Structure formats: structure tokens, C-alpha cells
Structure 1
Amino acid sequence: MTRTYLVTGAASGIGKATAALLRSRGHNVIGADLKDSDINADLSTVQGREHLIHAAEELSGGVLDGVIAVAGLSHPIPVTAAVNYYGTVATLEGLRPLLTRSPAPRAVAVASMASLQPFDEELVRLLLEGTEQDALARAAELATTPATGHQIYSSSKRALARWLRTTAPTAEWAGAGIPLNAIAPGVVLTPMTTELVATPEGRAKLNEQVPMPLNGPFDADVAAKLLVWLADEENSHLCGQVIFIDGGYDAVLRGDSTW
């Protein structure tokens, strides 16, 4: 059965691979990104998020079978927190009414294995409980030094994972029959990381920093396949899961602590 999906971050990386895979399987895809997409929207701003919701409703005819929120940044700057957390939450919450009109709605976000890495407690708290203005002010403080700037990314992904865990089982999501889940990718091969693994020395250094014993870093289509399954009708009972597709990084780092 042909389904209609909205994919953010559809112009590159995991989002592009996901949109391509869905289309190859005969589904309708509405892509969203900063540019070169069906919907061009800046998810770091309130206006951009509102434009995404309105445009998605118009292009979908008011019904979406799946929302796959991939758009994100990794730069050590405040806008990373704005896109990764507020942009993703606004996408999911804003498009939920369109999902409720589908006979088999699904929603998936992209977190990160970085959610397990050092983070800033105050930024996470503000993202979850404070105002966007205060959260971005805290991110701006962190961005003043390289030692803390990198925590903006990990903090934004940790906050997103925590939001998803508490939100997925609620009446608005699980109670409405909408599975809400996320993936947490390890190192995905991009032009930047491809350079890092081009030499034995680079591979050794990356493996030391981010051990992925099962097959190491991977292409974007590996993550796309998992996203597509989570957004498919076959996934009927996963709720609030953050699935680490990371070649074993989570298991190496946390061992049996999940139990």
C-alpha cells in the first residue's frame, strides 16, 4: 500500500537516503530542508517551523502516514540546539494532527550515540523545562570555549531522547495509536568522516574515540533502512524506544547497565 511520508533533512545525508529508499518502494515523500526540497524551511526559527507545518498540510492533503524527523546539526553553536531539539519537537508535535488521520500513523526521530557522551546538565534541563530563549542563551555560553562547545550537540540529542521517552507513551501518541520512536546512529560516513577513515592511522584514532566493533562506521543508507522500518505499518508495538544503530558503541560504553 502506498503511504505518504514527510522527511526533514531530506536534501542530504540520512534524510536524503531515507527519502530515496521510500520513493524506491513506491511511497509518496514530501521532503523538507533548508533548500532544494519540496518544503524549504529553517527549523531553527519559529517562523520556519510554522511554515513547515502549514506547507506539509497543504502538500499532503491533510493526511500523513509517517513523519521522519532527521534534520539536525552538529556544530558547536547555539543554532544546533535550536534545530536538534526545538525543530524536531515542533515537527513531531505540529504534524501529529495529520498523523491522526492515517489508519496506520508512525513517527520517528533521529537522536545520536552522542547522547551517551559528556553533556551539560543545565542545557538539558533548560531544553526540557525552560524557555527556548534561556536554553539558547546557555548554549551561547557553552559555545565560548571548545571544551564546552561540543556539549551543545550531545545535550540537544540527550534532551530529545528524554522528551521522546516521556512523550511516546502518552494519550496523544500511544493512546492515539501512533508509535513514536527514534534511532541513535553511530559514526555515519560523510565526506568529513570518510577522510578520517581513509588511512590506518585515522581509522585507529576514530576507533579509539568511538569504538564500533561490529563493522565500524556505516553509510547513510544503513540508518535509512531502520528508519523506514520504524515508520512502516509492520512496526506496531515499539513505543518510546531509542534504538542505537552504532556498531556496538552503546554496548561497549554502558555494558550491562541497561538492566
Structure 2
Amino acid sequence: MTRTYVVTGAGSGIGEATTTRLREDGHRVIGVDLRGADITADLSTEEGRAEMAREVTRLSDGSIDAVLAVAGMNAPIPATVLVNYFGAVATLESLQPLLKRSEAPRAAAVASMASLQPHDTALLEACLDGDEAAALTRAQELADDGNGYQIYSTSKQALARWIRLNAPTEQWAGADIPLNAIAPAVVLTPMTAELVSTEAGREQLDKQVPMPLNGPFPPETAAALLTWLTGEENTHLCGQVIFLDGGYDAVTRQDSTW
């Protein structure tokens, strides 16, 4: 059966690969990105998020089957937390009402293995409190102090925790909407191409992000998992953050399951 999907970050990387796969499978995809998509919207702003929701509602006639919040940034700048956390949460929350008209609604987001790495407590708390102004202020402080990478890792941990906290609630599980996330490790994109092209680069990457099972992977690998998570077959996965990481989680946390 043909389904209607909304994919943010559809213009590149995992979002583009997921959009391509879904369309090849015969589904309708409403893509959202800064450029080159069905809807042009900047999810780092409240205006852009509102425009995204309006246009999705218009293009879908008010009914969709799945939402995939894929859009993200990894730059050590404040805008990263605005897109990765507040943009993703706004996408899921604003489009949730449109899912209720589907016979098999699904939702998923893209977190990261970086959610296991060092984070900033103040920024994390601001995110989970929904205080965008405080989060932006703290992110700027981190950037100014040379700790900009923690903006990325913290934003992804916040998103993973939001998924865990909200998936079993009345709004999601209570409405028969499975809500889950994936947490990829190193994905082969133009951003990582130079790093993995040399032996020295690969050795450095292996020390930072050990992936004993097959190493870095193409975005199509993540797209396959996202497609299943938001397909009709997934009826009971709830609040899971699935580490698609070649073993990084197992190496890092070993036998811990918490």
C-alpha cells in the first residue's frame, strides 16, 4: 500500500537516501530541507518550523502516514542545537496530529552515537526543559570557550532522551504511533570522505569511534533501518534508540544495558 512520508533533511545524506528508497518502493515522500526539496524551510527558526508544518498540511491534505525527523547539523555552533533538538522535536510534535488519520502511523528521528560522548549538563537541561533561549545562550558560551563539539553531542543526547520520555505517553503510544530513533556512528558522506581516504585518517577515526563490525557505512544502511521503523511491520517498538554503529556502543559501554 502506498504511504505518505515526511522526511526532513531530504536534500542530502541519510535524509536523501531514505527519500530515494521510499520513492523507489512506490511511496509518496514530502521532503523538507533548506534547498532542493518539496518544502524549503529552516528548522533552526520558529518561522521555518511553522512554515514546514503549514506546507506539509497543505501538500498532504492533512493526513500523513509517517514522519522522519532526519535534519541535523554537526558544526560546533549554536545553530546545531536549534536544528538537532528543537527543530526535530517541533517536527514530530507539530506533525503528530496529521498522523492520527493514518491506519498505521509511525515516527522516527535520527540521534547519534555521539549521545554517549561527553555532554554539557546545563545545555542538556535547557533542551529537556524546552527553554530554547537558555539553550542558545549556553551553546554560544560553549562555542566561545572552545567546547563547541559538546553542542552536537548534547543535542543528540537530548533528542534521544526526549524520544525515550515521550514514546510511551498517551500522545504517542496511546495514539498507536510507534516513536523511535536510530543512533548512527560514522556515515560515509562527503564530510567524512577525506578522513577515510587515507590510512592515517582511518586509524585516527578508529581510535575516536571504534566500529569493529565493517566500519563506517553508507547512508543507505541507515535508510534501510528508518524505512522499517516507519513501515507497517513495526507495530511494537516503542521508545527505542537503536545504535547503528558497527559495535561502538558495545565497545564503549561493554556489558552495560542501561
- TM-score scaled by length of structure 2: 0.99
In structure 2, how many angstroms separate the alpha carbons of the residues matched to 1:159 and 1:131? 12
Q: What is the 5 A alignment of 1:114-193?
A: 114-146=114-146, 148-193=147-192
CA positional deviation for 1:72: 0.4
CA RMSD of aligned residues (A): 0.7
In structure 2, how many angstroms separate the alpha carbons of the residues matched to 1:136 and 1:49? 17
In structure 2, list runs of 5 or more residues that go unmatched. none
Task: Specify the alignment match of 2:110 in structure 1.
Answer: 110
In structure 2, how many angstroms separate the alpha carbons of the residues matched to 1:133 and 1:91? 18
In structure 1, how many angstroms separate the alpha carbons of the residues matched to 2:158 and 2:137? 16
User: Residue 44 of structure 2 aligns to a residue in which SS?
Assistant: coil
CA positional deviation for 1:115: 0.2
| Pair 1:21 & 2:10 matched | no
In structure 1, how many angstroms separate the alpha carbons of the residues matched to 2:143 and 2:194? 26
List 4+ stretches of structure 1 deviating above 2 A: none
In structure 1, how many angstroms separate the alpha carbons of the residues matched to 2:131 and 2:239? 24
- Give CA-to-partner distance per residue, 1:124-179, whole Å, 9 cap, x none: 00111152111100000000133x11000000000011111000000010000000
User: Residue 143 of structure 1 aligns to a residue in which SS?
Assistant: helix
Task: Specify the alignment match of 1:195 in structure 2.
Answer: 194
Task: Specify the alignment match of 2:36 in structure 1.
Answer: 36
In structure 1, how many angstroms separate the alpha carbons of the residues matched to 2:140 and 2:191? 25
1:49 counterpart letter in structure 2 = R
User: Residue 256 of structure 1 aligns to a residue in which SS?
Assistant: coil
User: Residue 235 of structure 2 aligns to a residue in which SS?
Assistant: coil
In structure 1, how many angstroms separate the alpha carbons of the residues matched to 2:212 and 2:170? 39
In structure 1, how many angstroms separate the alpha carbons of the residues matched to 2:92 and 2:73? 17
Task: Specify the alignment match of 1:69 in structure 2.
Answer: 69
- TM-score scaled by length of structure 1: 0.98
User: Residue 109 of structure 2 aligns to a residue in which SS?
Assistant: strand
| Pair 1:224 & 2:226 matched | no
User: Residue 82 of structure 2 aligns to a residue in which SS?
Assistant: helix
- Give CA-to-partner distance per residue, 1:34-54, whole Å, 9 cap, x none: 111100000000000000001
What is the count of residue pairs matched by the alignment?
258
User: Residue 169 of structure 2 aligns to a residue in which SS?
Assistant: coil
In structure 1, how many angstroms separate the alpha carbons of the residues matched to 2:181 and 2:124? 18
